[in-house]
Structure 1
């Protein structure tokens, strides 16, 4: 006897369907999928925009502080910043008072690019929860801020 062919909607997730970490990851994947479908031609990934946005709001931020705040591992942050530098988006400076530190600032061209990108990025973000009511969006935002320690 042949087993019936299952479609994705018929797959039993068991307790995963109420596991917060699993659901957060699935939500992230859904948002990224929609991002790349609608904005994939923008030449900036969501994570890249987020890092550049924070640098734009905090010129001269130390690379280690930036990585800690955005929870990006040191090795990945170093690679990301080097890539930004190669693309002419950031400048790095080692301060005289602490030769182990690296301060990051956007180039003028990158600052203008980030301001322009903010329009489409935040328009997209505003639409992420469009299947939720306004009250649900606010509640979810508050709860996520609490989970990540922003409250």
Structure 2
């Protein structure tokens, strides 16, 4: 558990000690690596991970309540409101307030949002495939199952 990690940084060995046993730290290290891959893939575009994730989820769940979206993706309501406003201004999603419940806001993709999703879907999935480099299919399944236990009430099915 106390082995150096990463092995070298700027030609120096860095000892992390018990941090290697911290789920939060290791998740953060994995997250920054995944974000680096994402931004390399999308360097020449305006695609951002959080925004694209919202577009992806709305593509699968048209008419989703804004509050449900926020709770599902663990986004603070105030941040969700700002994110939705940006995506509305960009023309990717539309907000609808149902007559029967004026407190709710339903979100759906516009035609431009669906086009944006279709345009970048393959690249988005390629980033997720790159996250699995070095892992066997069984390790990916195990990792996703364990992460599911940490993030959901019950583990999601692994692809």
Deviates more, 1:124-133 or 1:49-58: 124-133
Q: Can you list the C-alpha shifts for 1:94-129, whole angstroms capped at 9, x where unaligned?
A: 111111111111111111211221111012101211
1:133 equivalent in structure 2: 136
Deviates more, 1:104-113 or 1:77-86: 104-113
Partner-residue secondary structure (3-state), 1:142: helix
Q: State how far apart, in whole Å, the 1-side matches of 2:127 and 2:10 are.
A: 30
Change in 2 beyond 3 A, CA 1:68/1:9 = farther
Uncovered stretches (5+) of structure 2, i.e. residues with no partner = 1-8
Q: CA deviation at 1:8?
A: 7.0
1:22 equivalent in structure 2: 25
| 2:77 pairs with 1:53 | no
Deviates more, 1:139-148 or 1:24-33: 139-148
Q: State how far apart, in whole Å, the 1-side matches of 2:40 and 2:127 are.
A: 11
Name which of 89, 105, 110 aligns with 2:108: 105
The count of residues paired between Structure 1 and Structure 2 equals: 146
Highest Rg: 1 or 2?
Answer: 1
TM-score in terms of structure 1 length:
0.90
8 Å Cα contact 2:70/2:76 also seen in 1 = yes
| 2:123 pairs with 1:120 | yes
Which has a greater percent of helix?
Answer: 1
Q: CA deviation at 1:88?
A: 0.7
Q: State how far apart, in whole Å, the 1-side matches of 2:13 and 2:65 are.
A: 48
Q: CA RMSD in A?
A: 1.6
Runs of 4+ in structure 1 displaced over 6 angstroms?
none
